[in-house]
Amino acid sequence: MIHVEKLTKFYGDFCAVDKIDLEVSKGEITGLLGPNGAGKTTTLRMLTGYLEPTSGVIRIKGYSIDDNLLDIKKLIGYLPESAPLYHGMLVYDYLDYIGEIRGLETKKKMERIHQLADLCGLVGIMHKPIGELSKGLKQRVGLAHAMMEDPEILILDEPTSGLDPNQIVEIRDIIRSFGKEKTIILSTHILSEAEATCDRIVIIDRGRIVADGSTESLRKTHGQEKIINISLLKADFDTALRKLGAVEGVTRIENIDPPEPDKLRLKIVSDSADDMQEKIFACIKETDWVLVEFTQEVKSLENIFRELTKEA
Amino acid sequence: MPQVLNIFKKEIRDYFISPIGYIVICIFLLVTGWFFFATFFIFSEANLRSFFNLLPLTFALVVPAVTMRLFAEELHTGSYEMLLTLPVRLTDVIVGKFLAGAAFVTIMLVPTLAYALSVTFIGELDWGPVIGGYLGAVLLGAAFSAVGVFASSLTRNQIVACIVGMVICFTLTLFDRMVFFFPGRIVEAFTYLAASYHFENISKGIIDSRDLLYFASVIFVSLYGANLVMQTKR
């Protein structure tokens, strides 16, 4: 659906996007993740044709961005960061105007506006000026704007930035419900959001792609270490270290701070591909320790993200 | 529907939604009305010459204020990004915005027909120069609107856009009077570049293709310039 090859953008001497290759297939929800200034917005702007790439190839559904820009614009619904809409216009007038520009017939346009008002929860605010709306509502109008022509591709630049948790969930639901049959690319710097909404995550740092894959595969390739936290009563550190350290696959055992009286809290790190829970429990069962806590820590996307994008 | 028309409709509606349109019209009518009637009874001639003589200067002051928001506002709020990612061509946007500005200036001229009407009550008005004058005024307004669109594309600050537009329009208006100390040949060439010279020709009631071509060229060059400026922003 979307094919990007060696995409590069320079702002003067500054290289914002550096030879990015990306392939997005139909029906995928792809999250573009990266710290601020990594080149997410620039990449999205080039995909929509708003910025001209310094070099590289963009093909969308076979159309080239240099020769068929207008066809590409018809395929894409785009929501720029912080939804810069016409503040003087009423919500209804604005959607009407977008419908006109998108070339919908009057009847179809009216139907679509009503549909979108329901879908994006705009029914009560259709006759309010956009400038008077709260940030979350503006964002929803922006979503309606992007979805006006029922586009095949939806590109959203930080669709949930600056919203409160309830609004984030609402926007996420809208995106999810829409994403069943559409191709969506969204950028974000909130990891939990990417995890919750996206099928696939592309991490960008300083203009380059540093990781690409589903959340599962990212964890697999970048998160080998498994961590099990246990709390024991009637145990001392040295014996525990000796006994548990002998378990096959365990690489490291640490005390968890802060220490609690009478309670030994341990962090057991292993790099084995097998599940360690069973072996460790078997080891503990042989002793007369009392096990009061046993949790497996999943290496979070946050850790992976930080590892990949930390300053060199 | 062609996209130019969609853009045009949106822009012209914006002029009448916001108060700035009405404010500009009021200022324009106050200035032209006062200057016209202040001298009208002294000369006791039944014509609109003093109104049309002053029009290039008033337009140089007022038209850039009308057109300053066309691009500068969109660049400032960022809505330009929304607009350009819709299925429209940049040329559609520029022409649509220019036509809206020119149409607004034309609408602004409509109330001044009252001056012509009030003169017919007092004396015998020769309608030839009046019709020529209005035709010239519409062309002049369109040319200055195109200049204003160009000025507005240069910056995201509306005030800067307005001042740059005014400077270009004033220069075009006063060109022939600024260079009087040059040798005759050069003055002639500069006179041809002056908007007021061509406007005066038409407002005498003589419609010459050279004058029409002049206004068409100003419009084309300005809009082409705006196109180039917006292209480099990509």
Over range A302-312, report the average pLDDT: 71
Q: If pLDDT is split at 50, 70 and 90, which confidence band does A263 have? A: confident
The pLDDT of residue A223 is 61
pLDDT on residue A67? 84
ipTM of the complex: 0.85
Q: By C-alpha distance, which of A1, A20, A2 is closest to A202? A: A20
What is the distance in angstroms between the Cα of B167 and the nearest Cα belonging to chain A? 29
Which residues of A sit within 8 Å Cβ distance of B?
45, 48-52, 70, 73-74, 76, 78, 80, 82, 84-89, 97-98, 100-103, 145
Query: Residue A74 is encoded by which pair of tokens?
Result: 């018809």
Residue A307 near residue A222, CB atoms below 8 Å: yes
**CA dist B232 → A52, A78, A166, B4, B82 (Å):** 9, 22, 41, 22, 18
Is the sign of the CA dihedral A158, A161, A163, A164 positive or negative? Answer: positive
Q: In chain B, pLDDT over 90 holds for what percent of residues?
A: 56
Encoded tokens for A221: 């390739």
Helix H, strand E, coil C: the string for A75-134 is HEEEECCCCCCCCCCEHHHHHHHHHHHCCCCHHHHHHHHHHHHHHCCCHHHCCCEHHHCC
Cβ-based contacts of A49 with chain B (< 8 Å): 84-85
Residue in chain A closest to B88 (alpha carbons) equals A70
Look at residue A191 in the predicted model and tell me its pLDDT: 78
CATH 3.30.70.980 in chain A, residues?
224-304
pLDDT at A311: 62
Tell me which chain B residue has its CA closest to the CA of residue A75: B87
pLDDT tens for each residue of A191-219? 777 887 888 889 888 888 888 888 777 77
Q: Is the pLDDT of residue B71 over 70?
A: yes
3-state class of A189 per DSSP? coil
Average pLDDT value for chain A: 84
Closest partner residue to B87 among A74, A80, A97, by Cβ? A74
| Tens digit of each residue's pLDDT (9 = 90 or more) over A114-134 | 988 988 888 889 999 998 998
Question: CB neighbours of B74 closer than 8 A, spacing ≥ 6?
Answer: B80, B83
Mean pLDDT calculated for residue range B186-204: 84
Q: Using CA atoms, how far apart are residues A282 and B6, in angstroms rounded to an integer?
A: 74
Residue type, B229: V
* Each residue's pLDDT tens digit, B3-55: 899 999 999 999 988 888 899 999 999 999 888 888 887 877 778 888 888 89
Question: How many whole angstroms from its chain centre is CA A11?
Answer: 26
* CA A165, chain centre distance (Å): 16
Identify the band that residue A259 occupies on the pLDDT scale cut at 50, 70 and 90.
confident
Q: How far apart are CA A145 and CA A91, in angstroms?
A: 10
* pLDDT, mean of residues B208-219: 92
Residue B144 has a pLDDT of 96
Which of the residues A10, A73, A82, A101 would you substitute to probe the B interface, choosing the one with the greatest number of B C-beta atoms within 10 Å? A101
Q: How far is CA A197 from CA A77, A148, A165, A300, in A?
A: 18, 21, 15, 16
User: In whole angstroms, what is the distance from residue A191 CA to residue A225 CA?
Assistant: 20
- Cα B191 to Cα B188: distance, rounded to the nearest angstrom: 5
- Higher-confidence position of A134 and B105: B105
Task: Give the nearest chain A residue to B10 (CA atoms).
Answer: A97
Asked if A103 lies within 8 A of B87 by C-beta distance, the reply is yes
> Nearest chain B Cα to A84, which residue?
B79
Q: Lowest mean pLDDT of A84-93, A96-105, A273-282, name the range.
A: A273-282
Please indicate whether residue A251 or residue A78 has the higher confidence score (pLDDT).
A78
pLDDT for res A293: 86
A269-305 pLDDT tens trace = 877 767 778 888 888 888 888 888 888 876 666 777 7
Provide the pLDDT for residue A222. Answer: 67
For A224-304, the fitting CATH number among 3.40.50.720, 3.30.70.980, 3.30.10.20, 3.30.420.10 is: 3.30.70.980
Quick one: pLDDT at residue A95?
93
Return the ∠ at Cα A34 (arms to A29 and A38), rounded to 5°: 120
Q: What is the mean pLDDT of residues A96-113?
A: 91
How far is Cα A199 from Cα B71, in angstroms, rounded to an integer?
Answer: 39
Could you say which architecture CATH assigns to the domain A2-221? 3-Layer(aba) Sandwich (3.40)
CA-based radius of gyration for chain A: 25
CB A219 within 8 Å of CB A301? yes
Confidence of residue B203 (pLDDT cuts 50, 70, 90): confident
In the prediction, which pLDDT does B146 show?
97
Residue B86 at interface with chain A, using a CB cutoff of 8 Å: yes
For residues A88 and B7, give the distance between their C-alpha atoms in angstroms, rounded to a whole number.
15
